[in-house]
Structure 1
Amino acid sequence: MIIDQYKKMKNLFLRQSYIDAWEDYQRSIRKRSFAQWDYIVLTASNEEQANAFRSQITYRQNKNVLPCKTKYLVLPDPDGKRVGSGGATLQVLRKLAEQEDIAGDFHNKRILVIHSGGDSKRVPQYSVCGKLFSPVPRELPDGRASTLFDEFLIGMAGVPSRFREGMLVLSGDVLLLFNPLQIDAQFHGAAAISMKSPVDVGKDHGVFLNNGKDYVKKFLHKQSIETLEKLGAVNTHGNVDLDTGAVLFDVNLMNALLSLVQTDGKIDAEKYARFVNEKSRISLYGDFLYPLAEDSTLEQYYKEQPEGTFCEELTECRTRIWEALHSFGMKLICLSPAEFIHFGTTRELLALLTDEIADYEYLDWKPMVFTNYKSEKKIQAAVHNALIEGTVQLADKCYVENSWLRGNTVLEKDCVISQLELKDVTVPSMVLHGVALKRENGEKRYIVRGYGIKDNPKKTLEERGSFLDGDLQSFINLNNLKTEDIWESEDHSLWKAKLYPVTDSQEKAVSWALLLHRMSSEKADEVKVAEWKSLKRYSLEESFQIADASVLVPWEENLENRILIERFLNRLRAGEHYVDSLKTFGITELDEKQFDMLMEMAEKELPFEEKIRVLYSISRSMKFMKKNFHGISYDQVEQKCFATIQQEIFKASNVNQVKKYKIAENQVKVNLPVRVNWGGGWTDTPPYCNEKGGVVLNAAILLNGQEPIEVELRKLPENHIEFASLDLDAHGVVTTAAEIQDCHNPYDSFALHKAALIACGIIPMEGEADLEKILDEMGGGFYMSTRVKGVPKGSGLGTSSILSGACVRALGKFLGTTWSDSDIYELVLNLEQIMSTGGGWQDQVGGLTGGIKYITSRPGMKQKLKVEYLDLDEDTKAELQERFALIYTGQRRLARNLLRDVVGNYIGGKKESKEALEEMKYLAVMMRYELEQGDVDAFARLLNEHWEGSKKLDTGSTNTCIDQIFASCEDLIDGKFISGAGGGGFLQVILKKGVSKDMLRARLLDVYQDSGVDVWDAEFVW
């Protein structure tokens, strides 16, 4: 019970420390005044790995997620030779001393060194990228997938504030969790950072023996439990002071170390070569720290196990080191509570990520990190920075990192996939690690390393080292191999086994790696084995040495962007508002690469409903963030969004079905009423109606006793067409089909006339056509005029669309064609798509026939309209006529982007817009019900509800003038509404019983006098 309580308290402490460390890290990024590292130095195995490290740092700098003042150095072992962690430390000190702002003086500099130059033999998938940049199963608060490097920088962000100058050295494969407030940096020489850990853990690592005064008495490396207990290293709780690999050096000790390779304060090339070489292979821990322990002796120092091998050169180096360092001491800083996490073998890694991940829940570690993957069933699998699409199946104990899995790929139990793109592949229990090799003659080269979860690459043939389903010896026996087929030296370890064929594609390399598994279990085809033998093959070691590490960051960045995009798309698919969905990409939203990917997907992959939402979201982001990409501005992307809607609807239409007609009448004139809209307005507008279906209630009315919409056609003897737009006093003659096909200019006075001829199939939409021949076959040319009489512009009474309907009806009569109302509705919809107006269908339906109409459509790109006429009793008709009034506001709404604003809010997933549109459909249904019940009062109340919903949908539907008009006659009316989109034009009211239109007119004249606000005569067309 007490142990459980301690563990709980420890976890809470470390969790809060973790949170505090992140806050410190953010301050180090934002504030130059915050204490931070002057230099962060990474060591690497070779120049290729060093370049990979530099790429990782640059990638983070470009994302502004590294401390702002810190300088970064990456130093490979010279010439790729393994010079030991001590040799690497001397190289670090030399390089730092050469920096312009240091110039040999380390005072007032805070330096962090992370030794990370190992081969990662025990976890080979990290040999190329370096264990330092191996994944940690945590998604950082800023949304990034974490790595050991990120955790080091975050965890150590608070340390610079704890000491004035010096150097902190860390081991790159150990994650240390602690609170920097625990560090007391008052020391002379060095300070070893330790933590209390069970002796059972300590026996496999280094342990410090405290002298009773918090200084290191002895350094004990991998000693038995009995020895540790005998020497007094184990306390009463069964814990030891574990060596975490973290050591602080003061400036004096740094200078003492550097003096080993200097003469008269300057680097001596001969001395430097003596200490920094592959033969001496000086160890930081065994060679530099041992002399600092209180009980250390020179005699025993010579016997300490070296990082390389015993040799005269090492003995000479140790003599010089002892002379330089033995006068210094090593303080013991014991951190408690603290946590020491060592990323060991492949098997340990897999166990940590699948079986033991819950133990680190307090650190927000989780099995699924930075991925789009969500399993339909509960499995113990882990995914890190991986995109998983299609019908991919993951079994228990699988781990996928930095990979893209597609199609019908299946991963069986105990499977690790790293740095790969797999499609339609079944992978048995094994590790598959993709490695791009340096190009040869410009050609791409790949291998895929395949080995078992339990395999230790250090183990040899002679040690019966395991390999996949068997061991190295059984692999040789089963496939009739000789040792020289696989090894070129006496070292018969898995690390040096030439097993992996070089190919020109990753796909081929995967197939060879899978063959190795079959070869290990006597299931391989002999022909394929023979082919495998004939191929050039590399070992784990060789592939590490000739790997092209420059591809790692671009690949990971590509994956990261694709995962972010998939997450973004999933949020849009779930109906989230685009503002929230864009947060997927972080505070700066889209960058250029993400923009390019999304635009390409919109063009080639995404279905219509996703494409328009992606384009709209991109346009909003670019506008808000004030970004342009490749010279493309937000309004161009927005235009593409709305053009896509029009194009998709147009594709579903029957436009371009050219027919042969004969003129049947010498003259035709069609007059139509205007309409007033009541319920469901905007639900008839694409793409809402295409996705959800529309429901509208509207009515046809005469204005001041007349039908205002007029279209006239007259036969002409000449074979040409004359157009007239009498409202605009515009007249024109066309003599070619091309002039008519040019109908997309919204400023063309005859765009409607031309579109009507195309929609009705008189003129083809595109392609060659002879107008004179067409007219000759029709029996002559004709004159076509349009006019809207006595209706102000921007009235909200649907005049533009009703005029389209009048054109189609007039052309039908003129040509002797019997079109049903449904045919005309469809032709008008096509006409409006040709004109690219982007509007809905309710206006033309409202004016083409009389009566109050309940119009519905089902979802679909091709809208099939069902029009039902309300059958009202005579008393209801009379009451509605008596109480309905139309008020002209005296103003015209100027809102060119109104349609885009409202439709954009719907496309963009604005919750209020979606809810308002659904509510409007419901209100249209209820309005019909109340009118058919004869309850005009209830109808008036529903109009008021709809008015409130319209304001939510479009705040511009009202303004101060409209509010004032309604307020001035509030006591005279029971219901109020706008015409069309509102914002000007006409208002509709339902008068209280007993209130006449004259009383309303008198009130408005009293208030507004000669301003134009007045009641107009409106009469329903039954």
Structure 2
Amino acid sequence: MPAAGERSAARREATGRRLARFAALRGKAAGPGQFWDVVAVTAADAEQARAYRRQLAEKLRGRELPLGARYHVFVDPPGPKIGNGGSTLHVLRCLEDLYGDKWTSFIVLLIHSGGYSQRLPNASALGKIFTALPFGDPVYQMLDLKLAMYIDFPSHMKPGILVTCSDDLELYSTGLTETITFDKPGFTALAHPSDLTVGTTHGVFVLDPSSISGKGGLEYTSCHHFLHKPDVETMRQCGAVCVRGNSSQLSSSGDHSDSEMDSECVYTDSIFYMDHSVAKQLLMFYKQIGTLSCEIDAYGDFLQALGPGATQDYTKNTSNVTKEESQLVEVRQKLYSLLKGTALNVIVLNNSKFYHIGTTQEYLFHFTSDSKLKFELDLLPVAFSSFSEKAESLDQSASVIQSILEPGCSVGPGSVIEYSRIGPEVSVGKKSIISGSHINVKVDIPSNCFLSSLSIKINGQVKYISMVFSVEDDLKRSVKLLSEIHSLQFFGVSLLECLELWGVKVSDQLFSGESMRLGLWTARIFPVCSTLSESVRMSLKMLNSVRHMSAFKLHGFKLLSVEEMLTYKDVEDMLKFRKQIYDEICLQRQKEKSDL
């Protein structure tokens, strides 16, 4: 077996061990030091926080999580976005408000999940951290998997905060006697050997090459200087590029395959830990500045201040910033002054792989193609679902998660069906995503289709709405003027042409939200319906009218944007629909057992 295959097999074996340890703890009280004292999830607004709390309560009631930890959802303060760095500071304040000085004795896992998931909108309503994965009984969600992957950390960690994000995973293998220990003062980050192109979209550690052999499972070192999303030339100039005589010892990160040829690599970031002395300094800083009105990045703005080689040049560099606020440079300079001289310890995981599942393309690739993640996590084509193998045409590369497929339906290669009920005369094309939907009419769903249904509550009444797009549509893209909306694309067709087919007028009322962000996210184009299946039918008719360039008028319907759907979402009703599917699958299984 080639070295890359051996490394992947070692990661699979190590991951299996961690999953087994986590499974043994689910629904049980963990012993002292065995698990986190606090698991904190951040939310962007009060509505998102309510949805997260409701789902956490359901998971605890279903004994899907270890007991004994304090599970919290902390919502960002109202007003301007503050980024995951601002959220980190705010969580420290919330912990002190809740627990007083006691919080400094806690081992805390902090998961940033405050985004609206515009690049993976089936996770928008209920959160990326609650994204379903194709394995487990009941199915695992990202939260379960994160807790499983970090299961060994708490027992080798001094009180402090481990910071991670909700849409990525780190799979790794270490030697049998090696342990990942977070016990040094300052910051400690995990590092993954990656090719240079991955480095341009991540944080990159500048390490002393003589301190890293690239052999074994893990190595401890310190970081001279941290680079945030650097270009290749900067990596070379700063000495971040390492050359290995035998690169088969290295594994690449992100979605790139292991490289046997290229001997160059950089070490990229994923999660980091800070001890309580640093956390207290940051909390003091947050109290002093009062209200934060700019986005701070926990990686770029904390870690770039660390290590002996840090300079304050980065504080004025706003090329990687999506929105530049006047306060940003000032806040960065204060953070730099506060953190300068603080150590950045690095644990290099030589056999590790960083996976991101934050876009429709990544989601489809990892769950349905022959990806390393699929192999290393042992992902299933059918996870906790009900279907008759003889009756359906289900391509082996498709992925079905907690869904009911009725006899006679077919699902094309590379498609994902989650939390849905698919009727007998439904044909789903290639590389499509169907989420939370009930399709009970004869229909051919085209390839590359994204369909996600939501329950909403308007004036106390539960209604239903389904968004439909191409999996390649850019929901984050926006224009500033109505005269520019012809450049927006819906399923490869100009939005202007689509609006004409649907009989929707172009006016100031077409887009939701106060800021003039005109895009697919804010376009009021989706009809509100009285049943789930009707909402799916209407949205598919909209799509068909665009595909065949034939009119389908939306007169008489109340139309909402995706942005508004999330404001009106009825979490309780969506979870009720999932529970109905869950109960029906359980009944079906019991029936099959009794028939044997």
Normalization by structure 1: what TM-score?
0.51
1:340 corresponds in structure 2 to 354
Q: Are the aligned partners of 1:178 and 1:337 in contact in 2 as well (CA < 8 Å)?
A: yes
Asked whether 1:231 is paired with 2:238, we answer yes
> Are 2:411 and 1:394 aligned?
yes
1:22 is matched with which residue: 11, 19, 30?
A: 19
Counterpart of 1:187? 184
Distance 1:327 1:106 in 2: 25
Contact 2:172 2:349 in 1 (8 A): yes
Residue of structure 2 in register with 1:62 after alignment:
61
| Alpha-carbon distance in 2 for matches of 1:194, 1:552 | 39
Q: Please say if 1:326 is aligned against 2:340.
A: yes
Does residue 448 (structure 1) correspond to residue 448 (structure 2)? The answer is: no
Alignment partners' CA distance in 2, 1:390 and 1:75: 44
Residue deviations 1:412-445 (CA, integer Å, cap 9, x gap): 33322101122124122311100111x2232112
What letter corresponds to residue 239 of structure 2 in structure 1? G
Distance 1:352 1:362 in 2: 11
Secondary structure at the aligned position of 2:314 is classed as helix
**Residues 183 and 305 of structure 1: CA distance in aligned 2, closer, same or farther (over 3 Å):** farther
Which amino acid is the alignment partner of residue 510 of structure 1?
Answer: V
Secondary structure, aligned partner of 2:18: helix
Contact 1:357 1:366 in 2 (8 A): no
Which residue matches 1:433?
452
1:178 aligns with 2:172: yes
Q: 2:536 aligns with which of 510, 515, 535?
A: 510
Give the Cα–Cα distance (whole angstroms) in 1 for the partners of residues 23 and 533 of structure 2.
Answer: 41
CA separation in 2, counterparts of 1:58 and 1:227? 47
Write out per-residue CA displacement over residues 634-668 of structure 1, whole angstroms, 9 at most, x where no aligned residue: xxxxxxxxxxxxxxxxxxxxxxxxxxxxxxxxxxx
**What is the CA-CA distance between 1:385 and the residue it aligns to?**
1.0
Describe how 1:573-612 pairs up with structure 2 within 5 A.
Answer: 573=595, 575=596
Quote the residue 2:217 is aligned against. Answer: none
- Report the alpha carbon displacement of residue 33 of structure 1 after superposing the two structures with TM: 3.7
Q: Which residue identity is paired with 1:403?
A: S
Q: 1:343 to 1:295 in 2, by over 3 A?
A: same
Alpha-carbon offset, residue 252 of structure 1: 0.9
Counterpart secondary structure, 1:121: coil
Does the 8 A contact of 2:65 with 2:144 survive in 1?
Answer: no
* Aligned match of 2:439: 422
Q: Which amino acid is 1:76 matched to?
A: V
Match of 1:497 in 2: 523
User: Which position in structure 1 is the counterpart of 2:161?
Assistant: 167
Q: Which 5+ residue runs of structure 2 have no aligned equivalent?
A: 212-220, 244-262
CA distance in 1, matches of 2:72, 2:410: 42
AA of the residue aligned to 1:156: Y
User: Which amino acid is 1:559 matched to?
Assistant: I
Give 1:94 deviation, angstroms. 0.8
Match of 1:385?
Answer: 402
Cα 1:483–1:348, aligned 2, differ >3 Å: closer, same or farther? Answer: farther
Residue 259 in 1 paired to residue 284 in 2?
yes
User: What does residue range 78-477 of structure 1 map to in structure 2 within 5 Å?
Assistant: 78-79=77-78, 82-100=81-99, 103-139=100-136, 143-179=137-173, 181-212=178-209, 214-236=221-243, 237-244=263-270, 246-262=271-287, 271-273=289-291, 275=292, 279-305=293-319, 307=321, 309-357=323-371, 360-376=374-390, 377=393, 379=395, 380-426=397-443, 427-429=445-447, 430-437=449-456, 439-460=457-478, 462=484, 464-476=487-499
Whether contact under 8 Å (2:186, 2:275) holds in the other structure is yes
**Post-superposition shift, 1:179?**
4.7
Distance 1:131 1:566, change over 3 A: same
Identity level (%): 25
Structure 2 residue identity aligned to 1:16: E
Do 1:15 and 1:362's aligned partners in 2 also have CA atoms closer than 8 Å?
Answer: yes
2:144 partner letter: D
Task: Tell me the TM-score normalised to structure 2 length.
Answer: 0.86
Q: 1:249 to 1:96 in 2, by over 3 A?
A: same
Matches within 5 A, 1:35-50: 35-50=34-49
Alpha-carbon shift at residue 134 of structure 1 (Å): 0.7
Separation (CA, whole Å) in 1 of partners of 2:19 and 2:29: 12
Given residue 495 of structure 1, which amino acid in structure 2 is its aligned partner? W
Q: Distance in 2 between matches of 1:134 and 1:199?
A: 30
1:560 aligns with 2:582: yes
Whole-angstrom distance in 2 between the partners of 1:572 and 1:523:
51
> Is the Cα contact below 8 Å between 2:228 and 2:304 reproduced in 1?
no
Q: Distance in 2 between matches of 1:30 and 1:458?
A: 42
Which residue does 2:256 correspond to in 1?
none
In 1, Cα distance between equivalents of 2:81 and 2:149 = 29
Residue by residue over 1:291-321, the C-alpha shift from the partner in whole angstroms, topping out at 9 and shown as x without a partner, is 1243332243232457553333223322332
Q: Structure 1 residues 300 and 397 mapped into 2: Cα distance closer, same or farther (>3 Å)? A: closer
With over 3 angstroms needed to count, the CA separation of the structure-2 counterparts of 1:385 and 1:152, relative to structure 1, is same
Distance 1:190 1:444, change over 3 A: same
Deviation per residue, 1:717-770 (Å, 9 max, x gap) = xxxxxxxxxxxxxxxxxxxxxxxxxxxxxxxxxxxxxxxxxxxxxxxxxxxxxx
SS of 1:135 mapped into structure 2? coil
Judged with a 3 Å threshold, the aligned counterparts in structure 2 of structure 1 residues 415 and 82 are, in CA distance, closer, same or farther, namely same
8 Å CA contact retained: 2:180, 2:347: yes
Structure 1 contact 357–367 (Cα < 8 Å) conserved: no
> 2:248 aligns to what?
none
* 8 A Cα contact 1:132 1:149, kept in partner: yes
Partner of 1:51: 50
Partner of residue 592, structure 2: 570
Q: 1:291 is matched by which residue type in structure 2?
A: A
2:214 maps to which residue? none
**CA pair 479-224 structure 1, distance change in 2 beyond 3 A:** same
| Aligned CA distance change for structure 1 residues 548 and 184 (closer, same or farther; 3 Å) | same
Contact 1:445 1:504 survives alignment (8 Å) = yes
Tell me how far apart the structure 2 counterparts of residues 331 and 389 of structure 1 sit (CA, whole Å): 54
Q: Which amino acid aligns with 1:18?
A: T
| Residue identity matched to 2:339 | L
Tell me how far 1:511 sits from its aligned partner. 2.2
Q: Deviations over 1:887-931 (max 9, x none)?
A: xxxxxxxxxxxxxxxxxxxxxxxxxxxxxxxxxxxxxxxxxxxxx
Unaligned runs of 5+ residues in structure 1 are 264-270, 576-1022
Deviation per CA, 1:848-878: give whole Å up to 9, x if none: xxxxxxxxxxxxxxxxxxxxxxxxxxxxxxx
The aligned runs of 1:657-676 (5 Å cut-off) are none
Cα offset, 1:131, TM superposition:
0.7
